[in-house]
Chain A
Amino acid sequence: METFWMFVKAFLIGGGICLIGQIIINFTHLTNGKILVLFLIAGAVLEGFGLYSKLIEFAGAGASIPISGFGCALVKGAVKSAHQEGVYGALKGGLAACATGISVAIVAGYLVAVLFRPRTKKK
């Protein structure tokens, strides 16, 4: 039953974050890159105050899958290793925490570029 509620929370919080994004797009016509950066920074700053991790505890993937979760993971990793290793840790921790996602994206991007071709849009 607890698992079921996690799914419901993931759907509602994840959907809600995207909904906020869409409202911003509708009223400001921000482009894709700007929206991604905006949410990333929002997640990073919230985590700077230790807030975003609480949202992830509550909503699981609903908060960790949106790009704001990526910003949170960067800050969380950087802050954590900064406490252990000082300035060296602050430089190391962020990317280390997100290395999996970035590496998968790069390798998958490379492979997809080798295996597929872009298609013309129909609509």
Chain B
Amino acid sequence: MEKTYEITKDNYKSYVFEKMPKSSHWKNMIWAFIVGGVICTIGQAFIELYKLWFSVEDASVLASGTMVLIAAIFTGLGIYDNIGRFAGAGSTIPITGFSNAVVSPALEFRSEGYIYGVGAKMFLVAGPVIVNGVTISVIIALLTLLFGG
């Protein structure tokens, strides 16, 4: 594509944006849908399994725990990053993505020891999830107390 205007420092960003190869949006979205759907379906299978022995709520918690464990092992085996390479949000947003975000820095920083490496760096990526999640849950709970929600 021939440019027809003068590129300056001011319009450089929009020029680059035009020039950038576009992500294959459709392909990414379809993969995210399929992989995300499959992960949730596997989760549902564990819920159905655990329901044989536990209440629905406990079964749901245990199923999430199981998915976290499986994702941790897949991360250790070097499989999860290969799924993430094409699945994008499909493997990031499920709880398995949270697990991957906890385990991968732990693995990466093991070379710096178990205290300052694994221990300190484990929540490098996933820390914000816990921090923001706990904060907002306490705020919402206090609000419901105040306004009797």
Contacts and interface: CB of A to CB of B under 8 A. Distances in A.
Chains A and B share a contact (CB less than 8 Å): yes
Interface of A: 3, 6-7, 10-19, 21-26, 32-33, 35-37, 39-41, 44-45, 47-48, 56, 60-62, 64-71, 73-75, 77-79, 81-83, 86-87, 89-91, 93-95, 98, 100-102, 104-106, 108-119, 121, 123
Interface residues of B, number: 79
A27 B65 CA distance: 32
Interface string B13-54: 000000000010100110011111111111111111000000
Interface string B83-94: 001001110111
Main SS at interface, chain B: helix
A118 B77 CA distance: 9
A65 B133 contact: no
Contact of B95 (A3, A21, A69): A69
Contacts of A100: 61-62, 64-65
Contacts, number: 286
A112 B102 CA distance: 11
Interface string B66-97: 01110011011110011001001110111111
Contacts of B77: 116
Contacts of A109: 72, 99, 102-103, 106-107, 118, 122
B94 to A, nearest CB: 5
19 contacts: A14-B40, A15-B32, A18-B90, A21-B92, A22-B32, A33-B125, A37-B132, A48-B140, A62-B41, A65-B63, A69-B64, A73-B61, A79-B140, A87-B145, A89-B141, A108-B68, A108-B69, A109-B99, A113-B118
Interface of B: 23, 25, 28-29, 32-48, 60-65, 67-69, 72-73, 75-78, 81-82, 85, 88-90, 92-99, 101-104, 106-108, 110, 114, 118, 122, 125-126, 128-130, 132-134, 136-138, 140-145, 149
Contact of B144 (A15, A41, A79): A79
Contacts of B93: 17-18, 21, 35-36, 39, 66-68
B113 to A, nearest CB: 11
B144 to A, nearest CB: 5
A12 to B, nearest CB: 7
A11 B42 CA distance: 9
Given A22-B29, A101-B68, 16 more contacts: A13-B40, A16-B37, A26-B29, A36-B92, A36-B93, A41-B133, A47-B140, A64-B43, A65-B63, A67-B98, A74-B134, A79-B149, A91-B138, A100-B64, A101-B95, A118-B107
